[in-house]
Amino acid sequence: MGIADGGMNTVVCLSAICFHKACQMKPEDILIPTSIASAVMLGLLLIVRRDWIVPIATAAAMLTGMYLISKPAISYLPKSAELWLFWKILPICLFTLPLLYSPLPIRLAVLLILSAEAFGQIFSTFVGRWNGQEAILWITGLSAGTTLVWFALERLALRTKDWSVYLSLILIFACAAGVVGMGASSKFGRIGGVLSAIVLVSVLFSLIFRNPAFVLAGLMSWSVLLIILLAIGFFLNDTKPLHALLIISAVGFAWLGQLPAIERMGGWGRFITRMILVLVPLGLAVGLALPKFIENMKGELY
Amino acid sequence: MKFAQSLILAASLILSSHALAADNYQVDPAHSFVNFRVQHLQVSYVYGRFNEPKGTIVLDDADPTKSTMEFSVQADKVDTGNSGRDAHLKKSDFFSASEFPEITFKSTSVKQLDDNTLEVTGDLSLHGVTKSITTQVKRIGTGPGMKGETRTGMETMFKIKRSDYGMTYMVPQVGDEVTLLIGIEAIKQ
């Protein structure tokens, strides 16, 4: 497991460095915020070593990372989706805390309400322009989608015994960040990068201490933040709905890995099949977003 | 005799008040320009503009303090001569035009500095942030247009910091200080 962890970490670090180089970013653009946010996450996990610290650590790490990415902008009262997201990180994460030990129906209901409230605020600049029906449809749809994603991820994590589910999680969040970033929003892409780093740290911590609770406890807040980032990418930037849907569908594809035929496979065969299933929609999403991004990067815009 | 004098006095009062009444103007988008420049990599400038500005001006020559000015441009009309860059400028890294479609200026006070110069203070709303700015507006001239209408023109130049308006992306590669050069031609209504 140690070698596997090291390998996975190396792959993620190399990917981050390649992305960093490809986008001609400076260390303070992504490497420093991501590293500091990861350190905050890891520090809190190491100090407390209880599952309830995960949402708190997520909030602290996300706030740190987002502050480092869009520092001066947060001095204003929330008027934009970006500032609303910043102010909402804390309630999103902390409200999930009591839910960790609540019965499933209560968790589902509260998460639905929590998501609806967060989406309503974050997209308040749009709500005025949507008619009532549109606003209800969008906010209900996004909240229901978030709840469904969380539910699917949690059931999957509880059910799957090998660590394909952990790797799938990291890939889903990393690809979401990439797709949002390639959709003409470097800022939200980098914020997604911070979220991916938080997931990575929790997953590694969970694997090292052989306790899935460190992942399960973060899934609710991570799911809300993931859908918010994809929705911001779609509403404010150039993230195509197909790309966002492909990212989300990876959760469904991960469930296909639970089919009895795949379940019956041997250890590595099952693991590789499950990873291929998740990589198909993710690869498609990244592959479809990439050409336009490369074209823009060639353009010497700045 | 007294009646005739009163009549003349009343008529002259009406005429003079008409002559002194404030004039309403509508901004002519075809002859008005909202240009800006911003440093690029601290070695040169990138120039751009917002096409099709709109607005109304009330000019009171008798009492310039009663003059008012309102201008607006659409954030998605930004034009720097590069379609890829313009597309990015409209997104949330910069203007976030979906969230904040309009950039507006509304005067709050006008003072006459000399025959051709006004000092205009007003609220500039950009990227969801409203800040008061003061600029000197030079009146270029007033005269007849091609169709006999009355036109007036003015120009101003001022600087803002985009970070004051929450636009912090790519500072300092793309400079924080933005110089705006605005030329307005308006038609009397």
Extents of the domains making up chain B: 21-188
* Helix, strand, coil share (%) of chain B residues, nearest 5: 20, 55, 25
Residue A5 has a pLDDT of 43
Nearest to B91 among A73, A237, A302 (CB): A237
Angle (CA) A4 A100 A178, round 5°: 45
Task: Please give, rounded to a whole number of angstroms, the shortest distance from the CA of B148 to a CA of chain A.
Answer: 41
Express each pLDDT in B17-71 by its tens digit: 444 579 999 999 999 999 999 999 989 999 999 999 999 999 998 999 999 999 9
Residue B121 amino acid letter:
T
Band the pLDDT of A296: cuts 50, 70, 90. Answer: confident
Which helix or strand (DSSP H or E) is residue B34 part of?
Answer: strand B33-40
Distance CA B20, CA B23 (A): 9
Largest interatomic CA distance in chain B = 79
Q: Tell me which residue of A209, A170, A173 sits closest to A1, measured CA to CA.
A: A209
| Structure-token match 């780093």, residue found | A197
* Integer Cα distance of A86 and A229 in angstroms: 12
B7 vs chain A: nearest CA distance in angstroms? 56
* Interchain proximity A81–B99, CB inside 8 Å: yes
Q: Cα(B56)–Cα(B106) distance, rounded to whole angstroms?
A: 10
- Chain A residues with beta carbon closer than 8 angstroms to that of B99: 80-81, 125-126, 236
**For residue A232, which residues of chain B lie inside 8 Å, CB to CB?**
92
Q: Domain B21-188: what homologous superfamily?
A: Lipid/polyisoprenoid-binding, YceI-like (2.40.128.110)
CB contact under 8 A, A302 and B163: no
Q: Where are the alpha helices (DSSP H) in chain A?
A: 2-22, 31-48, 53-69, 81-95, 104-122, 124-127, 132-159, 164-182, 186-208, 213-216, 219-236, 241-256, 260-263, 267-298
Q: Report how far residue B28's alpha carbon sits from residue B47's, in angstroms, rounded to the nearest whole number.
A: 22
Contact B139, B154 (CB under 8 A): yes
pLDDT score, position A135: 87
The mean-pLDDT minimum among A6-15, A208-217, B68-77, B154-163 falls in A6-15
Looking at residue B36, its pLDDT comes to 97
What residues pair up with B122 in beta bridges, in sequence order? B107, B133
pLDDT for residue B15 is more than 50: no
Of the candidates A89, A116, A75, A123, the one whose C-alpha atom is nearest the C-alpha of residue A234 is: A123
Query: What is the pTM assigned to this prediction?
Result: 0.86
Cβ(A122)–Cβ(A129) below 8 Å: no
pLDDT 10s digits, A50-66: 999 999 999 999 999 99
